Structure 1
């Protein structure tokens, strides 16, 4: 008995997920006649977190739709900015995205990060329990059914990862309000409160401090502040409230 064949059209931005011999504008796929369209798309290597919509013969269909022989399928990428149900928007990053996690926290974005590999099942369960968007470059992890929401990080370079995430999810930015070490909130602190953490030169040179309410770590405008401030300023110009209003005008 011949297996049903369908044509699947994939936008350029999602073709990196396809096998090398299928990266044209369309690809012929043999199905078993009973699998959902969502399963078929995943079997090609595309995480459903990256799919914004599916259409068959020009008609929008759910992921549960079972395509018939000869169906012409169009896969659409996620529309940016992507609106995630629920508020506030919070993230969970896997062990390989430490620099991105620190930069998101620097911008005041609630970002959980595990600096040890706790395993895919635990990460997926944490995403569901805490309603966090799981960000990862691991396609297998993003296919886990228990995920609350997820997103593929398309670059392996932190300088490209941050604008990619900010443009996709458009989180509210509140720079300098979170601890980059543990994600806790920062509060103003006087020098006496954090004195034990300061070297002699720092105590003599600085008077304005903040402290993490969760881990107690002290912060001040030290030698690396100018570099961090430049990163913050660039992000705020491109993705802060004024930039968002400008794009909507």
Structure 2
């Protein structure tokens, strides 16, 4: 099959992933005539996790479509909220530990791998457990075996959390997950906790919870104001 000369236009939201020469309104590209449109898009640097609709001559196509000479391609970014499966579960790489803890504070199932287990193992876990891979590693998001994925655009944890909440609109259940291991919490009485508490804690606090997975214990201590601010920010417009 002979080469195919096509034109391609990218949503400005995808320009982050592109070389400068492909950020213009329309780029002329020559393909090998056998590669799928999905492969062409990825070869230009864009993970398919960040792509919404693919249009060829104004008709929507799937990533396996093979472009032919004269085709005009439009590559759009994902729409929000992005359709997801139920239950909604995430997997975060080693660079997103703060985001993982904030998601857990909100009761969102957020697995987090530390130490670094490598891209192949992360992709396998995503596929096996049907978890959406959250990462700033573009190479990881190119891996075919991923169940699903999403690029985290910001380096600021507050903005990162906003990205996830806007993109996926997860159900929030604050204070129901362990920030240490992602396990589910259960309420426990002060009497159950008494032999594990220092005297001052026992005197000043009455509400406690325990992780059902790792037995880590929780109460509303001096740090609760900063955590309350995270919950208030996340729930303000929901």
TM-score (norm 1): 0.92
1:186 counterpart residue number: 185
Retained in 2: the 8 A contact 1:206–1:220? yes
Whole-Å separation in 1 of the counterparts to 2:197 and 2:24 = 58
Q: CA deviation at 1:159?
A: 1.0
Please give the secondary structure, in 1, of the residue aligned with 2:172. Answer: coil
Retained in 2: the 8 A contact 1:33–1:66? yes
Please give the secondary structure, in 2, of the residue aligned with 1:60. Answer: strand
2:103 counterpart residue number: 104
Retained in 1: the 8 A contact 2:2–2:33? no
Residue correspondence of structure 1 range 3-82 to structure 2 within 5 A = 3-82=3-82
Q: CA deviation at 1:115?
A: 1.8
Q: Deviations over 1:130-160 (max 9, x none)?
A: 0010100111101111111111101111010
1:199 counterpart residue number: 198
How many pairs were matched up? 238
Please give the secondary structure, in 1, of the residue aligned with 2:116. Answer: coil
Moved more, 119-128 or 14-23: 14-23
Q: CA deviation at 1:196?
A: 4.6
Q: 1:196 to 1:25 in 2, by over 3 A?
A: farther
Moved more, 195-204 or 12-21: 195-204
RMSD: 1.4
Whole-Å separation in 2 of the counterparts to 1:26 and 1:156 = 30
Q: CA deviation at 1:203?
A: 2.1
1:134 counterpart residue number: 133
Q: CA deviation at 1:199?
A: 2.9
Q: CA deviation at 1:20?
A: 2.5
1:213 counterpart residue number: 212
Retained in 1: the 8 A contact 2:177–2:185? yes
Whole-Å separation in 2 of the counterparts to 1:108 and 1:178 = 5
Q: Deviations over 1:69-105 (max 9, x none)?
A: 1211000111100011x31110000111000000000
Q: CA deviation at 1:191?
A: 2.4
Please give the secondary structure, in 2, of the residue aligned with 1:234. Answer: helix
Retained in 2: the 8 A contact 1:12–1:25? no
